[in-house]
Amino acid sequence: MIQHLTSLPVLLPMLAGVILLMPPCGKNVAIRRIASVVLGLITSCVSIALLLQVQQHGTAVYAIGDWSAPFGIVLVADPLSTLLVSLTSILCTVCALYACAGDDENGSFFHPLLHFLLLGVNGAFLTGDAFNLFVFFEVLLIASYSLLMHGGDKRNTRAALQYVIMNLVGSAIFLIALGVLYGVLGTLNMADMAQKVTFLEGDDVYLAKIGGLLLLVVFALKGALLPLHLWLPNTYATAMPVVAALFAIMTKVGVYSMMRVYTLIFGDEAGELSHMAQNWLWWLALATIVMGAIGVLASQDLRKLVANLVIVSVGTLVALVAVQTVEASAAAIYYLVHSTMVTAALFILADLIGKQRGKVADRITVGRPVTQPVLLGFGFVIAAVAAIGMPPLSGFIAKIWLLKATFNSEYGVVFWPLYLLASLALLVGISKAGSTVFWHHKGNTNDSHEQERVHPAQLAALIVLLSSAPLMAIFAGPASEYALNAATVLHDFRGTTSAILEGGQ
Amino acid sequence: MELLYASCVGLLVACGVFLILRSRTFPVVLGLTMLSYAVNLFLFSSGRLSLNQAAVLGYSTDYADPLPQALVLTAIVIGFAMTAFVVILAIRGRADLGNDHVNGQVPEKDKKGKA
């Protein structure tokens, strides 16, 4: 049983999705909601159990159908992938809980789609096979298309249409890249690819380079890296906020794939091809941070603002991936967890604030005051402090760490001034938004029609997401130790390849 | 054979890209379909082109690589589902937005042309 644990974070959400479509859950709303949250909790518990097991016994490799490594498909549970699987499962459970307050009734099949999305994301994190990665990308994309359309209006249809077309082109490029790489390397297992890249000669080197850089285009599209980031603000701002909160993890799938491909396959050992994408990643990441910061300053409503924060966080992460040292990767892992939770919390807060302000909704302008200023105000301050990276919350620790990681290299000269200026822009943008929304108002709260108050389920979800910021600051010691360990395993070329190619039981 | 095959894939990709860059949804969907055909052919050729070779071990001395065939099969199934989805989405876009432009609005130039 214990060796099958690795496959459970992929299998459980699939079962959950099917169960939620079946009669008792399909018909009765109350049962469906309870079942969705409980199944999400089970997946989270299993993911955390897997994380603890990997921490004790080291990387676990699961050969699907007992076909051993280079021939069959393997699932690889190392500290990084299990951390992200646990993060995704918890985020999905929280979003399911939040949607129970009524958002899931805007359209059909919210809960099954949520679990299918979880299946795709978990699979993408765990798989050790490049083609299987493509398949899980498609699984998570088709779920995300439907979630995006959930309870939508006109603007939503337009954003969804553009998002779907962009991603279909992305899938085509992904397949071309895989075809090129398979033609040159003769394998699609990532560890095996990493070993074969070392021995390439002559023209094959250039072909592999083309394949690798085409993959970069795909991951940049998924991760919203400049210049392929244009779909993100519109898509996230028109989706239902709870869906946008859930999508906080989706850009991270692109970043995670970059980490895997450009540190394992095209990393230190890749001979002529080692670090081939580094320059591209570095400058594009810096440009992404600048664009995101400008976007934050220019945003007219809270959801667009948070969408631009997502772009800044992607830029930061990719810059750290480009540095390709163990410490930078560790900082990236810590920052990834922090930014996912905080942006999800901010999307949810934007929704709650918007609902309580009547007609002006979440636009950053003078309007009716919110009904519960203390609760939402405190929530906003915590999330904002964490997102900007001010002490004492997790954002500050993440910022210090990533600045330290770039200090002793030639990267620091460019990165420090740029990142600190971007932080200043974030500070100005978010505090302007916060002060306008909470302090500049006209009219009074006791307006004609009923005010919506925060539902207990929404409050619980918000508390879980927000508590991550202080918790990650209080337990910064163990958390950073874990991140460092995960980064060491990620950069350990020999350990990873031999574990995958010889392990798999 | 290689030349014919390669130019066929190239032509399909060129047509696909051209159609995807159009402003209305129908040509875009056609373009996506063409691109996915080209991709399937390309994936198939990544196992090298060969004639009269079985993809099963033991049936002939030279055998074709079976893996690209499995990959193409997966890619066809996924591509088919995605095309169906984008067609439905395009129809819904036509109904919701009142026109069939990817941007959701008719450019000024076209409006004048009709009037």
ipTM: 0.91
Residue A504 is predicted with a pLDDT of: 47
Residue of B nearest to A169 (CA): B32
CA distance linking residue A215 with residue A181, whole number of Å: 10
CB atoms within 10 A of CB B62: 8
Average pLDDT over residues B3-26: 93
Residue A503 is predicted with a pLDDT of: 62
- For helices A476-491 and A394-407, give the axis angle rounded to 10 degrees: 40
Instruction: Give the DSSP H or E segment for A3.
Output: none
- Which residues from chain A sit within 8 angstroms of residue B42, using beta carbons? 175-176, 179
**For A372-391, what is the HEC assignment?**
CHHHHHHHHHHHHHHHHCCC
CA distance linking residue B88 with residue A346, whole number of Å: 33
Handedness of CA A53, A57, A59, A65 (dihedral sign): negative
**For A52-86, what is the HEC assignment?**
HHHHHHCCEEEEHHHCCCCCCCEEEECHHHHHHHH
Average pLDDT over residues B59-75: 83
Q: Among partner residues B71, B79, B89, which is closest to A131 by beta-carbon distance? A: B71
For residues B114 and A331, the model is more confident at A331
Please state the pTM of the whole predicted model: 0.91
CA distance linking residue A265 with residue A274, whole number of Å: 8
- Residue A1: pLDDT band with limits 50, 70, 90: low
Tell me the per-residue pLDDT of A451-460, one tens digit each, with 9 for 90 and over: 678 888 888 9
Q: Among partner residues B45, B75, B86, which is closest to A175 by beta-carbon distance? A: B75
Between chains, do A157 and B32 touch, taking CB under 8 Å as contact? no
Name the residue with tokens 């209006």: A153
d(CA B102, nearest CA chain A) in Å: 7
Residue of A nearest to B83 (CA): A168
How far out from the chain centre does Cα A482 lie? 19
Instruction: Give the DSSP H or E segment for A354.
Output: helix A326-356
Average pLDDT over residues B34-58: 84
**Residue B58, Cβ density class (10 Å: 0-12 exposed, 13-18 middle, ≥19 buried):** exposed
Residue A448 is predicted with a pLDDT of: 47
Tell me the per-residue pLDDT of A314-347, one tens digit each, with 9 for 90 and over: 999 999 988 888 899 999 999 999 999 999 999 9
- Which residues from chain A sit within 8 angstroms of residue B45, using beta carbons? 179, 183
d(CA B112, nearest CA chain A) in Å: 23
Chain A contact residues (CB < 8 Å to B): 131, 135, 138, 142, 145, 149, 153-154, 157-158, 160-162, 164-165, 168-169, 171-172, 175-176, 178-180, 182-183, 188
Test mutation, A137, A149, A156, A157, chain B, max B CBs within 10 A: A157
Average pLDDT over residues A142-168: 85
Handedness of CA A410, A411, A414, A416 (dihedral sign): negative
Q: Which CATH number fits domain B1-50+63-97: 1.10.357, 1.10.10, 1.10.287, 3.40.1000?
A: 1.10.287
Give the pair of three-digit tokens for residue A61: 């490799």
d(CA A204, nearest CA chain B) in Å: 13
Inform me whether the pLDDT recorded for B114 exceeds 80.
no
How far from A167 is each of A141, A143, A170, A238, B58, CA to CA, in Å? 8, 13, 5, 17, 41
Give the pair of three-digit tokens for residue A23: 């009669």
Give the pair of three-digit tokens for residue A418: 């740029």
Q: Cβ(A17)–Cβ(A92) under 8 Å?
A: no
Of A74-83, A123-132, B98-107, the range with the lowest mean pLDDT is B98-107
Inform me whether the pLDDT recorded for A505 exceeds 80.
no
- Which residues from chain B sit within 8 angstroms of residue A165, using beta carbons? 20, 28, 32, 86, 102
How far from B87 is each of A140, A159, A504, B91, CA to CA, in Å? 19, 15, 42, 6
CA distance linking residue A397 with residue A333, whole number of Å: 12
Q: Cβ(A200)–Cβ(A209) under 8 Å?
A: no
- Which residues from chain B sit within 8 angstroms of residue A180, using beta carbons? 46
Inform me whether the pLDDT recorded for A279 exceeds 90.
no
Segments making up each domain of chain B, as ranges = 1-50+63-97
Average pLDDT over residues A283-304: 91
Instruction: Give the DSSP H or E segment for A339.
Output: helix A326-356
Handedness of CA A148, A154, A157, A163 (dihedral sign): negative
Q: Rounded to the nearest 10 degrees, how much is the dihedral formed by the CA atoms of A174, A180, A182, A186?
A: -170
Tell me the per-residue pLDDT of A420-439, one tens digit each, with 9 for 90 and over: 999 999 999 999 998 888 88
Inform me whether the pLDDT recorded for A312 exceeds 90.
yes
Mean pLDDT of chain A: 87
How far from A123 is each of A89, A203, A347, A349, A475, CA to CA, in Å? 12, 34, 25, 29, 28
Instruction: Give the DSSP H or E segment for A150.
Output: none
- Which residues from chain A sit within 8 angstroms of residue B103, using beta carbons? 158
Non-local CB neighbours of B66 within 8 Å, separated by 6+ positions: B47, B55, B56
DSSP state of A230: T
Q: Cβ(A43)–Cβ(A134) under 8 Å?
A: no
Describe chain A by its helix, strand, coil percentages, rounded to 5: 80, 5, 20
CA distance linking residue A500 with residue A67, whole number of Å: 12
Average pLDDT over residues B32-43: 93
Q: Cβ(A252)–Cβ(A338) under 8 Å?
A: no
- Which residues from chain A sit within 8 angstroms of residue B77, using beta carbons? none
Inform me whether the pLDDT recorded for A175 exceeds 90.
yes
Tell me the per-residue pLDDT of A33-66, one tens digit each, with 9 for 90 and over: 899 999 999 999 999 999 999 988 888 888 888 8
Of A4-13, A441-450, B2-11, the range with the lowest mean pLDDT is A441-450
CA distance linking residue A51 with residue A173, whole number of Å: 33
Inform me whether the pLDDT recorded for A89 exceeds 60.
yes
**For A459-484, what is the HEC assignment?**
HHHHHHHHHHHHHHHHCHHHHHHHHH
Backbone angles phi, psi at A268, to 5 degrees: -60, -35
Q: Among partner residues A158, A165, A182, which is closest to B28 by beta-carbon distance? A: A165
